[in-house]
Structure 1
């Protein structure tokens, strides 16, 4: 049943970008100057998960690389690389040579100088995905002030950069913000039809099945595509030549679990404990949450560290907060 499993993976870049014509033109126009040896305009893409931000950005980087060998491109996930050094190290590793840069023992400013040398003669476009997960946001200042680099920043919320230092805001003042709304049900069906056409055997999935997945995915293309993959895999394991209706809802549930699991794997034991407490309790004030946390662990961390852990859970979109100081309340995100 599955002809090309890569098509059903999250990192697959499709041959064409569906239902993002306006966003595609805007970002393409911002990046076009690098093909003429000029600097790209910095761009900020924001919108809920599964709305095509990363996919479209990577599609355009591939397009630039094919159009000019003099344009350097790089992609950094800021959750996995949240410090200034790690971001700069990743960029240098992708666009140049690491022969003179070692992960341990090389000062951060030396890595930055290496990057500046690399982009002196070649223009560069960098995607910083999940930019709201950065622990050291001053790297944005370093990159924005480096001649020859154009930035594409990606986050779920329009407010992701509101808290950064005024120097960073000033450096990014000409950046264009572009919204990615949730997909409609019909748009998701179109996206799924493409994945079926490229990744599955003919007649493996019926139109009404794709409509059902699109309805359950509620505007999230990643969830929809993962659900299609899981339903197809299970049907294939059962020896079927087409997806069975009874597998669809279970596939959507499993896809949600996979996405949640990917996020939870990024947490340490203390962070997981705080998450589980809120999942059980629903909503708690800061003081009550800290007391329950201390009851559940043998060696609790101090309040300041707990606050940092809760900030991380919020950045990951797992919880939300209301109020300030000791009156602050924490709850699971809907």
Structure 2
């Protein structure tokens, strides 16, 4: 049944981007100056998980490279590279094609970028609100010709972390908002993935619509659910995906996406999540008390509220409820 499983992987970049024409236009407009040998405009992409932010950013850079074949580009996932030095090191390695020594000072990495970037370039900073030190954006901004596409859930969670000097310098740029996909758009995305990745006739459109209805506008979960349903059908020796498998496939896909997200949490987020998982529901003070006991190097409650708890909420790992004792944190409820 599965003809090309890579079509259902997170890294797959479709030939056409469904339901995001206005966002694509904004990002390509921001990058257009590169075609004239000029630095692109910085671009911020904000919206919920699974709304197509990373796909649009990568597709816009792909379009740019069709016009300017040798434009230097880089992709940094700030879940993995979240320190100032690791971001600068990856940018220097990719954009300047430079072999930089491990643990090189930030100034040396910035100089390497400045010396090695001889034409306008673009770096995608995915999950940029995961940065340990968001002031690294100022470092990148200081490199002549280099522009970025920053991807985050909410503007306030990113820009509120910057000091005033840095904020005034780098906050100017395109701001592109992404809402959750509609059911019709998710269905169309699934239909196109089906055409590329499954055998003809493997799934009816009504089944795709059912998946789309269950995922609350999250295309990543929907695509995962379609792959899971196809695998389940194959194991049963079926040549088509029956509707009876859809609900379980969506639940399994949600669990898979959740596991991937948990595996990427930084140490503060992981401890917070485990405290809620083991002891929740917890009011904020009780959560912080348990976090302090569990983490070897705890940070302040204010820093957790500002930088870490919102991320757990945005990725549907925890949810909050406000009551007489303030906020209460519990594990997010599953689909269905």
Per the normalisation by structure 2, the TM-score is 0.88
1:135-154 to structure 2, matched below 5 A, reads 135-154=132-151
Checking the alignment, whether the CA contact within 8 Å between 1:46 and 1:179 is kept in structure 2 is: yes
Q: 1:94 to 1:182 in 2, by over 3 A?
A: same
Q: 1:109 to 1:158 in 2, by over 3 A?
A: same
Checking the alignment, whether the CA contact within 8 Å between 1:70 and 1:123 is kept in structure 2 is: no
Are 2:97 and 1:97 aligned? yes
Measure the CA separation in 2 of the matches of 1:208 and 1:321: 34
The residue aligned with 1:263 is: 261
Q: 1:167 to 1:281 in 2, by over 3 A?
A: same
Checking the alignment, whether the CA contact within 8 Å between 1:204 and 1:242 is kept in structure 2 is: yes
Checking the alignment, whether the CA contact within 8 Å between 1:10 and 1:222 is kept in structure 2 is: yes
Are 2:311 and 1:312 aligned? no
How much does 1:173 deviate? 3.6
The residue aligned with 2:227 is: 229
1:110-149 to structure 2, matched below 5 A, reads 110-119=108-117, 121-149=118-146
Select 1:202's aligned residue among 200, 208, 211.
Answer: 200
The residue aligned with 2:82 is: 82
How much does 1:227 deviate? 0.4
**Structure 1, residues 3-23: CA drift from partner, whole Å, max 9, x if none?**
111111111000001111111
Measure the CA separation in 2 of the matches of 1:30 and 1:82: 25
How much does 1:179 deviate? 0.5
**Structure 1, residues 278-300: CA drift from partner, whole Å, max 9, x if none?**
244223131x23445578x6xx6
The residue aligned with 1:284 is: 283
Per the normalisation by structure 1, the TM-score is 0.89
Identify unmatched segments of 5+ residues in structure 2: none
Q: What value does the CA root-mean-square deviation take over the aligned residues?
A: 2.4
Identify unmatched segments of 5+ residues in structure 1: none
Select 1:301's aligned residue among 296, 299, 308.
Answer: 296
Measure the CA separation in 2 of the matches of 1:18 and 1:157: 22
